[in-house]
Structure 1
Amino acid sequence: MSTSDPAERAVAVVGMSCRVPGAEDLDAFWDLLRDGVDAITDVPAGRWDLDGIPDGAHGFEGVRRGGFLDRVADFDSGFFGISPREAEAMDPRQRLALELSWTALEHAAVVPETLRGAKAAVFLGATGDDYAALVHRHGGDAVSHHSMAGLSRGVIANRVSYQLGLRGPSLTVDAAQSSSLVAVHLACESLLSGAATLALAGGVHLNLAPEGTLAFARAGALSPDGRCYAFDARANGTVRGEGGGMVVLKRLSDAVADGDTVHCVLLGSAVNNDGGGEGLTVPDGEAQRELLHSAYAQAATDAARVRYVELHGTGTRAGDPIEAAALGAVLGQDRPDAEPLLVGSVKTNIGHLDGAAGVIGLIKVALSVRNGILPSSLNYAEPNPAIPMERLRLRVNDTTGPWPEGPRLAGVSSFGVGGTNCHVVVGQAPA
């Protein structure tokens, strides 16, 4: 975010939507968070063929668990003016993106038709191509003239822009697991540069084939018991989830002028890359510290005033201690009171939504800031011995309760396996 006046850099979240494991919409997601629901289940019947993976196979036990959506094949094609044949050829993520975009605009009290021809942007995080892989297994006869666009990951964002008649920037972002939060960052940049007057930003992810989860297992990144133990001594890997989320963004000054309901304000954000480190897939603590310094400088905000950070928080043995050390160094020190920085991870509720993970963390924080309630992070009993919580002045928020005393100021982190990191600074809506 590049303008000089902090007030002019602020971006308002004026609408939201989501569909995640255990929650079909925004209200159900808040209920899930507030009630501390664990939405991880066995793989739905008929989703994957796991005959080649025997029960109890060492290192692969977690393949049979995850966070899943119901009825991923359902889609009201007629509502969007799409023929049943074309809808069948579309990657279900395109369908999900259309539904989430429409619902987010409704939540923002924006009539979609009024945006036709406007400089409205779409930035959507997405990774992998499970549906295309499934189609290609059936050979050339499964490919139609709708497949070129229907199976393209790059068209996911374009599909939304086309259906709504939007003329602003439109692109699918793939920065691995940080994709959707990077999409939010790019959307803010687009608004602040004047390239767009309104932006839809978020991400979608579906686990339609087992190979992606098998890859996590073979890399040692999958929790064998299907639970994410973020910052806990039992941390043994992540658990995969699916779903999506969308936020509607405007410059704060425009939102106030338009009389919009502002759910929270994005004060600043930053993106960088590990740029070396010990390995391509190994997080780098120095880069994460630089990311945090940059984000709070952009937000013109004292990092020591932050009360909560929604972690990347995958529950991996390597990643959690590195993330904790960076947070402690930048946000944990020089705090104006005796209270530690509270941290948590929505991945403990619904799993890791890969390219959609970051925006779901942002929506969790937006709901928390709006409601003045901080939901618990699940599966936490005792700190990871590699994370000196007291010295770093961190504490896992393991009990749902009122927002801690002080400003409703929070951060959201998301990191990609290839080293692309993103952090967004979130504040309360102005009175």
Structure 2
Amino acid sequence: MYDRRTMLTGATASLVLSTRLSAQTMPPQGFATPAGTSPFAPDIFRERRRRVMDVLKDGVAVVFGADPVQSSAAVAPPFVQDGDFAWLTGIVDEPGAILVMAPAERTIKEWLLLPSRDPEAERWEVERLPLGTELERRTGFARVSRTGGLGSLVTTLAERSKTLHFLGPIVSASAPVPKALELYGKVMQRVPGVSLKDESALLPSLRIVKEPRELDLMRKAAAATARGHIAAMKQVRPGMTEKQLKAILEDAFRAGGGEGLAYDSIVATGRNAASLHYTGGSGVIGTNDLILIDAAASVGGYACDVTRTFPASGKFTSEQRASYELVLAAQAAAAAKLKAGVYYEDLVEAAKDVFRKAGRIDDFTHGLGHLVGLDVHDVGDMAKPLPAGAVITIEPGLYVQSANIGIRIEDLYLITQTGSQRLSEGVPRTVEEVEAAMAR
């Protein structure tokens, strides 16, 4: 007959055995997901979350990670984590994850919620960690649980705090309602007196200014990008297809330390270069063509963004040179104004003035640039003065399909208090630099 002591002794023994078995079967570091935080240690992301919670002060904030990629194709697109979620957690290999923050809670102020495990599916795809200390150690969260408990957790926290913080993003009326707003609506229907506070500007205001460690990764991405563009310039040959040149470019990115592509590479020859987001690859490079390459590597998830246009022959014709140097002059006019406190629209007008004076303004058909960081089109309010520490592209261009020509020059600039630094300076840019790189 079992008494209380026997039962407790048995339970303790069972727990010890379970712990030992868990220790024996737990995947070593580098196996199972999440593998940890990337590209920095957990304490970096913990500090970022603290900064956010210091601003919020109270209430509850929920940030959803990206959903799993749904594809029936033999080669599925890679999973890319939501930028805000990645910046706050460093968890980049777990689709469907959720972050909950409650700054005014007495002890536990943050939770990482992960989808439930499916051991049978994991035998086919990837092994995932069970709940426990190893998962907490890898992620840097004191509380890791499953997404199935999201509703009850947020409802309980909202009942105490009475405030729900929306961290974004703001989307158009025709887009699906953001998951956080959908969740908040359900909570507000069930907990009287709860209010919704718009904090959608907070994360962009923090992310726009790059930390030194972020800039280090972006410089590495720029170095790998330079290696790819130079390889393309040196190895291009008339008769080669765009796809063949793209392979040379991307191989060099990897050889130069690139860990991935910042975005899908554009390699366009002749008339194709006049299509701004050209997606083909079958064009054959002609002897007299200009080739436009808009492509860049990423390192640690941080992007670069560079476009170069160069002659397949290795030498610009006089007409090609005139148009190219006009684009370069427009870029230089905008870059000359770039420093902390400048308005983006003033950069745009500086570039447009160059094209207006040359009678070519109608051939410049897109925006001048965008912020870059963890996302290639990074977050930040470009209607406000640009701060020191932000990274932005300046990418004027001229496009004339009837003349079979498209020219774009795009560089990456770090804004400083007194001016800017061109992070992509390793990529040949002037006519003389391009022709010298292509000399063979």
Give the structure-2-normalised TM-score.
Answer: 0.25
Structure with higher RCO (Cα < 8 A, 6+ apart):
1
